[in-house]
Structure 1
Amino acid sequence: MLLTRLRIHCEGDTALTKQHAADVAVLGATGAVGRAVCRQLAAAQTPGHAIVRSHTTAVEGLPARVVDFDRAPELTDAVRARAVICCLGTTQSKAGRDGLRAVDCDLVLHCAERASRAGVEVFTVVSAMGASRRSPSFYSRVKGEMEAGLRRIRLDTVHIVRPSLLLGDRDEHRTAEAVGQRLAPLLNPLLPMQYRAISVDAVAKALIQLSGPSTPGVWLHELPLGGRRSRRLDV
């Protein structure tokens, strides 16, 4: 019954309607997915704000709040919203192995802890296809550690989203992704649905959709949403 209720919510195409309008705080708002989330929220006139590290007045139409992430009370106040959408992430080439873990795992969990203290109802976060603490890939292990950490934090509802290869403009060049994007039109029809490359706009739409009212618990979603690609982890 719980999974059926979630499926009804996930499969509907009502994420950007008035019924889901509520305060939303966006973390990682300057990345490709985060910008797409802010753009769609602003287009839907959904009340919310972007949380950023450096001074700016807005991100893709949403007002921005500049926050020192090392100051816990300041961060708690910034994430005080009904829902938080977390798109934090970096690359090993840019930040190194330690930097990747510090952002993609440690910082995400720190923000989730602050969200818990702020009384956030729904925390939605971007992970990655293949995330596992036992993966031979360092990146996938870090994402797996982040997912495991979220299960230990007291939040009413957590939605973990695992997209495959992202299609869309990036602030930095990623060779593997650039090659993947060129091959995606040829490979996508041959792959299972959850392994197909997906646009950042589609990922953003899913994050917004999941940030609406839904069944409490820790949920894992492979994209596109719907059917057996969504399952509950905390039962």
Structure 2
Amino acid sequence: MGKEEFIKIDEDAVLDFTTACKKAGVSHFELLSSVAVSATSSSLYLRTKGELEEGLKDLCFERLSLFHPSMIMTPTNRYGLSQALTLKVMPWLDPILIGSFNKYKSISAETLGTAIAMNAIQNNDAVGVLTLHWSDFIKLSKR
């Protein structure tokens, strides 16, 4: 896929959707993004995600939850060699990712999905932009 197609799918379509959500009265929006996103990144993937997040912030949802996982671990390899290596290496690396580096720990798709669901249904008065990382996913998934 070319750069323009990627941006059209990963940023433009999502912004169109969220704009429609905002117009329809949605007050809380959740986005599965990525660790290390930045609108100024040299990486197309991280820059596009960062630009998307900036656009979502501009929509001024009452509550915006941005999920920033590192490696999402799946039960099977669906994407070839790079995912095969990730599935093998991350369990060895995770124990040394401590302190401020714990946001780079891998997370199972099941745990992440549970955290996203719990964040959506939890009854609290949270407002504004909330950026969530690995430790937040673990806390939410245990509720």
Who is 1:200 aligned against? 109
Q: Percent identity?
A: 26
- Tell me, which stretches of 5 or more residues in structure 1 are unaligned? 1-94, 227-235
Greater percentage in strand: 1
Higher relative contact order (CA 8 A, sep 6+): 2
Give the structure-2-normalised TM-score. 0.83
The one of 123, 131, 137 equivalent to 1:220 is 131
Give the structure-1-normalised TM-score. 0.52
Runs of 4+ in 1 over 4 A off after TM superposition: 169-172
Who is 2:90 aligned against? 184
Evaluate the alpha carbon distance shift between residue 171 and residue 203 of structure 1 in structure 2; reply closer, same or farther with a 3 A threshold: same
Measure how far apart 1:172 and its partner are.
4.4
Who is 2:141 aligned against? none
Who is 2:140 aligned against? none
Who is 2:68 aligned against? 162
Would you say the 8 A contact 2:39–2:48 is kept in 1?
yes
Distance across 1 between alignment mates of 2:6 and 2:83: 17
Q: Does 1:133 align with 2:39?
A: yes
Matched residue SS, 2:135: coil
Would you say the 8 A contact 2:39–2:47 is kept in 1?
yes
- Tell me, which stretches of 5 or more residues in structure 2 are unaligned? 138-143
Matched residue SS, 1:147: helix
Amino acid at match of 2:36: G
Who is 1:87 aligned against? none
Who is 1:118 aligned against? 24
Who is 1:104 aligned against? 10
Matched residue SS, 2:131: strand
Evaluate the alpha carbon distance shift between residue 197 and residue 222 of structure 1 in structure 2; reply closer, same or farther with a 3 A threshold: same
Greater percentage in helix: 2
Measure how far apart 1:169 and its partner are.
4.6
Q: Does 1:143 align with 2:52?
A: no
Distance across 1 between alignment mates of 2:106 and 2:73: 6
Who is 1:45 aligned against? none
Matched residue SS, 2:88: helix
Amino acid at match of 2:129: V
Evaluate the alpha carbon distance shift between residue 170 and residue 151 of structure 1 in structure 2; reply closer, same or farther with a 3 A threshold: farther
Would you say the 8 A contact 1:166–1:177 is kept in 2?
no
Question: Deviation string for 1:16-72 (max 9, x for gaps)?
Answer: xxxxxxxxxxxxxxxxxxxxxxxxxxxxxxxxxxxxxxxxxxxxxxxxxxxxxxxxx
Distance across 1 between alignment mates of 2:48 and 2:80: 19
Distance across 2 between alignment mates of 1:176 and 1:97: 20
Evaluate the alpha carbon distance shift between residue 170 and residue 141 of structure 1 in structure 2; reply closer, same or farther with a 3 A threshold: farther
